[in-house]
Chain A
Amino acid sequence: MEAGAEEALIDRCRKQDVEAFGKFVDAYQARVFGFVKRMVNNADEAADVTQEVFIRAYQSFARFDGRSSVRTWLFRIANNLCIDRSRQLGRTPNSVGLVSDFEDGEEMDFSDSRWQPEALMLDAELIQVVESGIAEMSEKLKMVLLLHDREEMSYEEIAETLSVPVGTVKSRLFLARAHLQSVVKRYMTEGGND
């Protein structure tokens, strides 16, 4: 959506114009649903949470002050609701936590001849591998990875969304990608790409 058109739309959303809000939902529903689904690892639950995200957005649009982008604001709502949901359900942290397998300063070696990033194509099996890799991450890693690599939010925007320093965003992103890298590498090494 062009900047001018989005501004006009947001102005109407602030006034709780349902037509404008419908267009806003059109523009963001797939992205928010995708984010939430990967965060909660359950499609039905994601559908519920995503509805809640838009309801909250509708309710609070009048208070959206425009200091951050509307996308940052929306994903902040989504992120908070995912975290709330997780707390309510008393979920235990997933296996890949903030403590990485890689220590500070350690160089990761991706020199394996079968590791050919440029040759990676997302076939159905690889999609499954990547999705599983994301699913097993901790929420903190996952949210940074999704916001940065899927939603193309800047480090600063993510830092603002999550209320953490930019450096923390970068280190979480590194750990998240490193985890995925090891998952993909394992898949390729163990015959998934024979």
Chain B
Amino acid sequence: MKNENQLDEKLASDSMKSIAKLVKDLPEEIPSMNWRSQLNERILAEAKPKPKLELQRWLLRPALGLGLAAALAVAFVIRPVASDATGSSVESLMIATHQDDVNYASVTGAGLSVSEMKDYSSPTPVSDPLLDLDVF
């Protein structure tokens, strides 16, 4: 480009704007609930008060420190912590399923439960459903 003005003109052209619109209109993806739960858990861990100084001093005693360091090294080599938090594992799915059920019940009371919402929604609304019910 010769200069910035020329660049501005080109960037403002219809064809460039249409490309910008294509990029803008790309679908958005929301991270999973499991992802969010893990994030909440990590934020909560961050929010917890730090260990007291006495405890730190105790932990930092030389002999204990060496032992602890060795133990941590083994723990991290054998089982990396980060890989333990994958979102779609059978275990996390089980916990999330249970939690959703409990949470739903706590909010809705007699209303639709999570399984009812999922399983019993009609693809098309029934126009006059009570017509067929002998309500009165």
Are A and B direct contacts in the complex by CB distance below 8 Å? yes
Q: Say whether B16 contacts A181, CB under 8 Å.
A: yes
Contact residues on B (Cβ < 8 Å of other chain), bracket: 35 or more
Q: Say whether B28 contacts A118, CB under 8 Å.
A: no
- Residues on A with C-beta less than 8 A from B27 are 122, 127
**Smallest CB–CB gap between A38 and chain B, Å?**
9
A68 within 8 A of B: no
Mask of A159-193 contacts with B, CB within 8 angstroms, 1/0:
00000001100110110010011001000000000
Q: Say whether B82 contacts A29, CB under 8 Å.
A: no
- Residues on B with C-beta less than 8 A from A59 are 46
Interface residues of A in 24-66 (CB under 8 A from B): 25, 29-31, 33-34, 37, 44, 47-48, 50-51, 54-55, 58-59
Interface residues of A in 73-127 (CB under 8 A from B): 104-105, 110, 115, 117-118, 120, 122, 126-127
- Residues on A with C-beta less than 8 A from B4 are 166-167, 170
Contact of B23 among A21, A30, A117, A130 (CB under 8 A): A130
A7 within 8 A of B: no
A18 within 8 A of B: yes
Q: Say whether A130 contacts B22, CB under 8 Å.
A: yes
Q: How many contacting A-B pairs (Cβ < 8 A)?
A: 112
Interface size on A, residues (CB 8 A): 49
A10 within 8 A of B: no
A146 within 8 A of B: yes
Q: Say whether B31 contacts A122, CB under 8 Å.
A: no
- Residues on B with C-beta less than 8 A from A31 are 28
Question: Do A54 and B39 form a contact, CB below 8 Å, given A105-B2, A115-B15?
Answer: yes
- Residues on B with C-beta less than 8 A from A171 are 1, 7
Interface residues of B (CB under 8 A from A): 1-2, 4, 7-8, 10-11, 14-32, 35-36, 38-40, 42-44, 46-47, 82, 86-87
